[in-house]
Amino acid sequence: MDATTPSIGVLALQGGYAAHAAALADLGQPCREVRRPQALDGLDGLIIPGGESTVLLRLLESEDFFARLCTFARQHPVFGTCAGAILMAARVLDPAQPSLGCLDVTVRRNAYGRQNDSVVQTGRTLLPGPDLEMVFIRAPRIESAGAEVETLAWRDTSPVLVRQGSHLAATFHPELGQDRRVHRLFLDMVAAHAS
């Protein structure tokens, strides 16, 4: 790791953090597993993985972790997938629950229904290259997004990959596929934020 390698953290309290670490390793990017708020210090960016947002919220109750994460997210690039996207959203439905509020979207949890709990689907994207293959697992749906939010990929007509400034969120799991374009984008956002 040289002086120009950014310091990336992956919130490692619960859920799919190991797959994100592996996706970053594919890109030659090391990461720090974040299990306590002190581990946020010195990071240039953070990934919040999928899992179960209610469990994540409970685990964030200790040591003022939630408040420290809010402060970090206001000042640094953050990429959330699925439960991570729910945590980033300004508004959460079904049911309403606390969130970091760093992304101006409304998300509805588990919005695709039981038959469709998990599905792999290909969708249109503005990322350079072919359509994106997207793995959805009990995914939330982005019901509305503020004017500052840019949609970068869609499932049918719903936004599934969105960016607002240095915040990126996916309702699917790019870490579980082979395509590294979404993680590459996040690393580019971290580099742009640092410069």
Among 20, 76, 108, 109, binds ligand GLN (CB under 6 A): 109
Q: Is 183 helix (H, G, I), strand (E, B) or coil?
A: helix
Q: Is 80 exposed, middle or buried (0-12, 13-18, 19+ CB in 10 A)?
A: buried
Distance of CA 42 to the CA centre of its chain: 19
Residues within the annotated binding site for L-glutamine? 51-53, 109, 137-138
Q: Is 192 exposed, middle or buried (0-12, 13-18, 19+ CB in 10 A)?
A: exposed
63 among known catalytic residues:
no
Q: Taking CB under 6 A as the rule, does residue 80 contact ligand GLN?
A: no
Among 12, 24, 53, 99, binds ligand GLN (CB under 6 A): 53
173 among known catalytic residues:
yes
70 among known catalytic residues:
no
Q: Taking CB under 6 A as the rule, does residue 141 contact ligand GLN?
A: no
Distance of CA 117 to the CA centre of its chain: 19
Q: Is 64 exposed, middle or buried (0-12, 13-18, 19+ CB in 10 A)?
A: exposed
Stretch that binds ligand GLN, among 23-31, 82-90, 148-156, 160-168 (CB under 6 A): 82-90
Among 12, 19, 23, 86, binds ligand GLN (CB under 6 A): 86
* Interface residues toward ligand GLN, by CB under 6 A: 50-53, 82-83, 86, 109-110, 137-138
Q: Write out the catalytic residue numbers.
A: 82, 173, 175
